[in-house]
Amino acid sequence: RLREFYDKKREEGKPFRVAIIACVNKLLHWIYALLKSNKPFQDLA
């Protein structure tokens, strides 16, 4: 899912570093949500 998000950002014309930072932010949000809910990771893709 993260690779799809990265590819979408690149297709939008975002530079490499901007797309990578967007992926990092998304990953951090996922990690925070997992820690806050205290549930195991389940990939829904």
Q: How far apart are CA 42 and CA 44, in angstroms?
A: 6
Q: Sorting pLDDT into bands at 50, 70 and 90, what band is 4?
A: very high
Say how many CA atoms lie within 13 Å of 20 toward its Cβ. 3
* More confident call, 44 vs 8: 8
pLDDT in tens, 23-41: 999 999 988 988 898 887 7
Give pLDDT, residue 38. Answer: 84
What are the sequence ranges of the domains in the chain?
Answer: 1-37
Q: What is the largest CA-CA distance in the chain?
A: 36
Residue 45 in this model has a pLDDT that exceeds 70: no
Residues 6+ apart with CB under 8 A from 41: 30, 34
pLDDT in tens, 11-24: 999 999 999 999 99
